[in-house]
Amino acid sequence: MQTPLDYARYDRIRPLRWTGDVLEVLDQRGLPFAVEHVACRGSDEVAEAIHDLAVRGAPAIGIAAAWGTVLAARGVSAADGGQALAHLRPAMERLNAARPTAVNLAWALERMRRRLRVSGADWRDALQDEAARIEAEDLAANRRMGELGAAMIAPGSGVLTHCNTGSLATGGFGTALGVIRAGVAQARIARVFAGETRPWLQGARLTVWELQQDGIAATLIADAVAAHLMKTGQVQWVIVGADRICANGDTANKIGTYALAIAARYHGIRFMVVAPSSTVDMATADGDAVRIEERDPGELMKLGGVRTVADGIQAWNPVFDVTPAELIDALVTERGVIERPDRAALEYAFGS
């Protein structure tokens, strides 16, 4: 019988803290050297924190937007939830526009709308209750996914991950990093490698720091090293998260994920996508229909605030790419594991 995970040891970080009056956001832009919180007292401040990457990661963005809706309600006078929704719509639209690729953002806001539509005079309490539920359900889902994903990994394996998919990106424990936490705790994972993740360096600044807090040794690599690492035989799995999973199993995730999937397939390394069911978007047929967010090209022109590119140079800065379903060996959600995901499998698992 498997020993239960010691979550007190492997689940120490929270990116969001609701105080009852303020949403405190752990400012990920300053990590790992400055552990500071941004105090959001209104929904527009939450939208700004999402857009400016103070909070990031698809589940965490959705949770933040839910609490942002609670904050937006502070200035609304309405007899019931239906009336309140009409007043809250502009604020919710601004929250939704902050990061367009992560489906969890729209999903969380739709949950808040549904709760409002059926709420009476207690609609404020109902909003706060729904936001708390979204956060708690995400933590429970992550722990379940950690157990499911780790069970697929043979003892002594090495894994490579990309971007940050841990507690910082979720309600706690993490998606892909939750699988890694569980795998380390169960002695299934012996080696952890993390790509740096240019240009915002989420892997270098966040993932290896987060693992360090839990006493998990991780080796940082430059993004360009990944294929060579695979060739050495030191990794048996690539484990990543997702910002949107389409109806056919195509997956949008941090830029660079697609290249890892191609390299993994060539080297015979298995590729796992880990995300809550809220990330599955059955309304988006395939990856071609995903809107890929493009950010300021200037982000590519400096490192640590120091400009590294000559004046007059142009740059292209898409921040997500799409991995085709045929390159994914396992899709893990809290509902279970889908091996070799395709349209039929996702329809069976997530169709209405």
Q: Can you give the residue ranges of every domain in the chain?
A: 7-141, 146-350
In this predicted structure, what is the pLDDT of residue 112?
Answer: 97
The span from the CA of 338 to the CA of 50, in Å, is: 31
- pLDDT at position 1, please? 43
pLDDT digit string (tens) for the chain, length 352 residues: 456 777 778 788 899 999 999 999 999 999 999 999 999 999 999 999 999 999 998 899 999 999 999 999 998 999 999 999 999 999 999 999 999 877 899 999 999 999 999 999 999 999 999 999 999 999 999 999 999 999 999 999 999 999 999 999 999 999 999 999 999 999 999 999 999 999 999 999 999 999 999 999 999 999 999 999 999 999 999 999 999 999 999 999 999 999 999 999 999 999 999 999 999 999 999 999 999 999 999 999 998 789 999 999 999 999 999 999 999 999 999 999 999 999 999 999 998 7
* Residue 220 neighbours by CB distance under 10 Å: 14
pLDDT of residue 161: 98
* Tokens at 150, concatenated: 């780790």
Contact in structure between 99 and 108 (CB atoms under 8 Å): no
* CA-angle at 332, arms to 328 and 337, nearest 5°: 95
- Positive/negative CA dihedral, 234, 237, 241, 246: positive
Fold of 146-350: Rossmann fold (3.40.50)
**Right CATH for 7-141 from 3.10.20.740, 1.20.120.420, 1.10.10.10, 1.10.10.60:** 1.20.120.420
Distance of CA 188 to the CA centre of its chain: 23
Task: State how far the alpha carbon of 279 is from the alpha carbons of 102, 206, 303, in Å.
Answer: 8, 22, 31
pTM, full prediction = 0.91
Query: Cβ neighbours of residue 315 under 8 Å, at least 6 residues apart?
Result: 297, 298, 300, 301, 309
pLDDT of residue 3: 60
Q: Give catalytic residues, as residue numbers.
A: 243
Q: Where are the beta strands (DSSP E) in the chain?
A: 16-18, 23-26, 37-40, 157-161, 189-195, 219-221, 237-240, 244-246, 251-254, 270-274, 280-281, 302-303, 306-307, 320-323, 330-333, 336-339
List, in order, residues 6 or more apart from 108 with CB less than 8 Å away.
Answer: 62, 63, 65, 66, 134, 278
pLDDT at 2: 56
Q: What is the pLDDT of residue 101?
A: 77
**Which residue type does 307 have?**
R
196 with 222: CB under 8 angstroms?
yes
Peptide bond into 199 cis (omega under 30): yes
Distances (CA, A) of 138 to 26, 58, 70, 100, 318: 18, 11, 18, 20, 27
CB neighbour burial string for 239-249, b if at least 16 within 10 angstroms, e if fewer: bbbbbbbbbbb
Return the structure tokens found at 315.
């740059």
Q: What is the pLDDT of residues 307-332, one digit of tens each?
A: 999 999 999 999 999 999 999 999 99
- The pLDDT tens digits of the residues spanning 8-45 come to 787 888 999 999 999 999 999 999 999 999 999 999 99
How far apart are the C-alpha atoms of 201 and 349, rounded to whole Å?
34
C-alpha Rg value of the chain to the nearest Å: 20
Distance (Å, rounded) from C-alpha 92 to C-alpha 33? Answer: 33
Q: Which residues of 188-211 are buried (b: 16+ CB within 10 A; e: fewer)?
A: bbebbbbbbbbbbbbbbbbbbbbb
Reading the block at residue 253, the tokens are 């995730």
In angstroms, how far apart are the furthest CA atoms of the chain?
65
Q: Are 253 and 259 in contact (CB under 8 A)?
A: no
- The two structure tokens encoding residue 340: 């070799």
CB atoms under 10 Å from CB of 291, counted, come to: 11
